[in-house]
């Protein structure tokens, strides 16, 4: 009896094991099928996206090459098969200065939509600036005290000793150097000692003089007036759900203001006379974008559009229009692009200092710009200040590209280039640039991409 009981027990164990293996096999098979579906979905979405981009590029090229017939294409639909999918494109006139190319790509049952704007010279001023250099300076450059550029450097200057690299080998350019058209770069450069180490790439001249015009400032929108916002114990996390104008928004210590930016096609516009954030946070909720217009003062010591380790700078842009200098200081983390413009730009100053961190692009016409004190612009972006005497000092670091009038780097500082900076126009709103008065209208030019 004991032996037969043992045999029965073994049978039960075998059945349990087989049943468990069957369940595991079914679960594993289900997971494999789910993963395969997810992979196919992602592949099809990617195919649809690139089909949409191809369609928009094809139509844009056609329009730009046949501008005399451009009116014939407005309102028309174009369809074409490409590879295993197809795209549909429509040209829409947004206003007298802007055409929108709407393109939808299809791959199987999946689709993706993109838009590409075309701007006239009156809207765009000139072709969008190209950021193929880590540092471009119209005039003089001075490096000292362990100042370095990881990337290529260019300047329009042609004068003898217009570029000075000091520091006994601790200051250097980890890339190529290009002086102004027609100059002798060896005369333009002044490098006391360690010349071979100071510039580790090629030394040459620009093919043509470069012009980086100041950006144009957009008109501030007229918005419905809203009650002032001030956080406190009873109002610790107020939510903005509509466009509006506020005289003051005040975020006191350890509180937050939230802004609902809606879905990915929404642009939330908020205008404020005085924005004051004291160790608080401004948070965005949703996939849309925020345009914040500031009339007089902007102060933030805390977090704008995120926390210490997160935030999407493509979701927010701050337009600052005041007679006061613009300063980011202290333990500040701003995940947005900044647009600081002045009527009296020759006396205007922009500072990023004392540990402030900017994760986005800066556009300004100010004549005095400084980044110092351990401050990082450590997202792949541009510091665009073509009028500015630019100072990078005291352990300041910029990851992206810098455009300025003159440049002085000192005190263990770095400009670190990343090629993705050339694609920033895909994530920024349409930005116009001042016309130098010498160029003739050439009709439409490419603007920005958006999804």
- Collect all residues with Cβ–Cβ distance below 8 Å to 294 and sequence separation of at least 6: 271, 272, 273, 275, 318, 319, 320, 321, 322
Per-residue confidence (pLDDT) for residue 433, from 0 to 100? 77
Q: State how far the Cα of 359 lies from the Cα of 378, in Å rounded to an integer.
A: 6
- Collect all residues with Cβ–Cβ distance below 8 Å to 105 and sequence separation of at least 6: 47, 48, 49, 50, 51, 52, 53, 54, 55, 85, 86, 87, 111, 112, 113, 114
Q: State how far the Cα of 189 lies from the Cα of 200, in Å rounded to an integer.
A: 14
* Cα angle: 426, vertex 414, 329; to 5 degrees: 80
Q: State how far the Cα of 410 lies from the Cα of 425, in Å rounded to an integer.
A: 30
Ranges of H-type helices in 191-256: 195-198
Is pTM beyond 0.95? Reply is: no
Instruction: Report mean pLDDT in 10-residue bins for the chain, 451 residues.
Output: 55 69 68 64 82 86 82 85 86 83 89 84 58 95 92 96 84 92 93 78 91 87 96 92 96 91 93 90 93 93 77 91 88 90 90 86 94 68 94 89 96 88 79 58 67 69
- Collect all residues with Cβ–Cβ distance below 8 Å to 140 and sequence separation of at least 6: 155, 157, 162, 163, 164, 406, 407
* φ, ψ at 70 (rounded to 5°): -65, -30
| Of 319, 330, 325, 322, the residue nearest 363 (C-alpha) | 319
Per-residue pLDDT of 37-53, as tens digits, reads 676 677 888 888 888 88
Token digits of residue 164 = 């000075």
- The label of the residue with tokens 């928004």 reads 249
Q: Number of H helices and number of E strands within the chain? A: 4, 31
- The label of the residue with tokens 């993705």 reads 420
């Amino acid at each position: 009896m004991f032996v037969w009981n043992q045999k029965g027990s073994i049978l039960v164990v075998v059945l349990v094991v087989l049943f468990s293996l069957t369940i595991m096999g079914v679960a594993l098979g289900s997971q494999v099928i789910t993963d395969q579906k997810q992979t196919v979905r992602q592949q099809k979405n990617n195919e649809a996206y690139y089909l949409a981009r191809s369609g928009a590029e094809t139509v844009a090229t056609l329009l730009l090459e046949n501008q005399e017939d451009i009116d014939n294409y407005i309102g028309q639909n174009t369809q074409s098969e490409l590879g295993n999918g197809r795209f549909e494109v429509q040209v829409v006139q947004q206003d007298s200065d802007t055409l929108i190319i709407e393109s939808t790509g299809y791959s199987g049952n999946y689709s993706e939509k993109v838009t590409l704007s075309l701007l006239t010279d009156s809207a765009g001023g000139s072709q969008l600036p190209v950021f193929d250099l880590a540092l471009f300076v119209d005039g003089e450059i001075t490096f000292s005290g362990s100042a370095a550029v990881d990337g290529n450097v260019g300047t329009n200057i042609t004068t003898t000793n217009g570029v000075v690299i000091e520091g006994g080998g601790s200051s250097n350019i980890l890339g190529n150097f290009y002086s102004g058209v027609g100059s002798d770069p060896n005369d333009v450069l002044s490098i006391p000692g360690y010349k071979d180490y100071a510039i580790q790439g090629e030394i040459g001249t620009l093919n043509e003089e470069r012009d980086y015009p100041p950006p144009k400032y957009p008109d501030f929108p007229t918005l419905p007036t809203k009650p002032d916002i001030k956080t406190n114990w009873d109002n610790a996390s107020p939510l903005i759900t509509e466009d509006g104008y506020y005289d003051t928004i005040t975020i006191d210590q350890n509180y937050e203001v939230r802004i609902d930016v809606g879905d990915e096609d929404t642009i939330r516009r908020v205008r404020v006379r005085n924005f004051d954030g004291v160790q608080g946070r401004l948070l965005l909720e949703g996939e849309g974008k925020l345009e914040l217009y500031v009339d007089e003062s902007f102060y933030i010591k805390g977090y704008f559009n995120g926390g210490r380790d997160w935030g999407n700078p493509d979701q927010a842009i701050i337009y600052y229009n005041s007679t006061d200098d613009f300063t980011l200081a202290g333990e500040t983390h701003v995940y947005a692009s900044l647009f600081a413009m002045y009527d009296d730009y020759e006396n205007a100053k922009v500072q990023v200092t004392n540990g402030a961190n900017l994760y986005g692009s800066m556009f300004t016409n100010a004549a005095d710009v400084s980044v110092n004190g351990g401050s990082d612009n450590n997202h792949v972006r541009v510091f665009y200040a073509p009028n500015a005497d630019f100072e990078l000092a005291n352990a300041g670091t910029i990851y992206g590209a810098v455009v300025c009038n003159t440049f002085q780097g000192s005190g263990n500082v770095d400009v670190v280039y990343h090629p993705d900076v050339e694609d920033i126009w895909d994530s920024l709103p349409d930005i116009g640039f001042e016309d130098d008065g010498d160029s003739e209208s050439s009709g439409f030019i490419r603007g920005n991409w958006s999804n």
